[in-house]
Amino acid sequence: MLITRLVLAADRFRQWAIAQFVLLLLSVLKLLPPDAAIDFMDRVARWIGPKTRRHRLTLTNLRNAFPEKSEAEIETIALESWGNMGRLAAEYVFLDRLFDFDPARAEPGRVEVSGIPLFMELRDNPRPFIVFTAHSGNFEMLPVAGSAFGLEVTVLFRPPNNPYLAEKVFEFRKARMGNLVPSHAGSSFALARQLERGGGVGVLVDQKFRKGLKTKFFGRDVQTNPLLAKLVRQFNCEVYPARCIRLPDGRFRLELEPAVEIPRRADGSVDVTATAQMLNDKVESWVREYPGQWLWYHDRWHIKRSL
């Protein structure tokens, strides 16, 4: 028992130390001008990323997804993906200052928004709806945009594994993104209550889900979370794709697309598996368009054990 307590205490201290280092780094970054801090983290991530074990997984995922691309092209996308991660970490500190969208301004700012009429229509005609996105670009900006447009959206998010970082991240997100639901066993009930009240829900749909539905992503087997499809089946709500695209010179475009048509069976009921596949197909189309803006180090295909 003593050894167990010592091991647990050592692990808690390790996580606390990591959290303090990360928070200190973010605090230092906040002292810099946003563009300088973001560019710095981009360069750091491109230098550190290839030296990590995750880089091997990144390259394998890219080769499997794009067998037609050369090794030079694969390496270029991998570095862009690491740079995207570095930028995302730094941008987290400056979200309040980066989101400068103003529809009344003549000149475009750092952020442009596509689909404004949809934002306004959802706000002015409240009803249950789901917005889905992927880990592409700065996906954290989408709930910030929803809050800026006055949309009541409850966002499902996965907290960091580090409990000390998770607490700080939750506080930061809640102040800027509205209602938040940490991903855990009871999260589906919280989302269902929001839809039942006639509100909106936001979810990421490109995460690995070990007990998910058997589907395809880039032509390879994956398991996809059936949550969105089951919520649609229960509440018959509209589903909107949304994404963030990085543009040159540190700019962004946020896109809210028209509602998708949900696959249904002959009796009119929601086809849960086909809906999950439809989500994968939409995300794949986004990733193919901007492959360097997706998180390729993520073990979406559950192949890390074979490396």
Q: What pLDDT score does 181 carry?
A: 67
Give yes or no for residue 162 having a pLDDT over 70.
no
Q: What pLDDT score does 157 carry?
A: 66
Q: What pLDDT score does 115 carry?
A: 87
Q: Name 47's bridge partners.
A: none
Give yes or no for residue 305 having a pLDDT over 70.
no
Helix (H), strand (E) counts: the chain: 11, 9
Give yes or no for residue 172 having a pLDDT over 90.
no
Q: Name 136's bridge partners.
A: 294
Residue 265 identity:
R
Of 15-24, 90-99, 114-123, which gets the smallest average pLDDT? Answer: 15-24
Taking CA 253 as the corner, what is the angle to CA 252 and CA 257, rounded to the nearest 5 degrees? 155
CA 182/CA 159 separation, integer angstroms: 6
Q: What pLDDT score does 101 carry?
A: 82
CA 215/CA 273 separation, integer angstroms: 7
Q: Name 157's bridge partners.
A: 182
Greater pLDDT, 215 or 307:
215
Q: What pLDDT score does 173 carry?
A: 58
Two tokens, residue 193: 């209550």
B/e letters for 182-194, b = 16+ CB within 10 Å, e = fewer, are: eeeeebbebbbeb
CA 291/CA 295 separation, integer angstroms: 9
36-70: per-residue pLDDT in tens?
A: 999 999 999 999 999 998 999 999 999 999 999 99
Say what the pTM is: 0.88
B/e letters for 1-12, b = 16+ CB within 10 Å, e = fewer, are: eeeeeeeeeeee
Q: Give the pLDDT band (50/70/90) at residue 150.
A: confident
> In angstroms, how far is the first alpha carbon of the chain from the final one?
35
Mean pLDDT of the chain: 85
Contacts 24+ apart (CB under 8 A), 174-180: 176/95, 176/96, 176/143, 176/144, 176/147, 177/140, 177/143, 177/144, 177/146, 177/147, 178/143, 178/146, 178/147, 178/152, 178/153, 178/154, 179/152, 179/153, 179/154, 179/155, 180/154, 180/155
User: Do 252 and 110 meet the contact criterion of CB atoms below 8 Å apart?
Assistant: yes
Domain boundaries, the chain: 105-293
Q: Give the pLDDT band (50/70/90) at residue 84.
A: very high
- Tell me what percent of the residues of the chain surpass a pLDDT of 90: 49
Q: What pLDDT score does 3 carry?
A: 66
CA 35/CA 17 separation, integer angstroms: 28
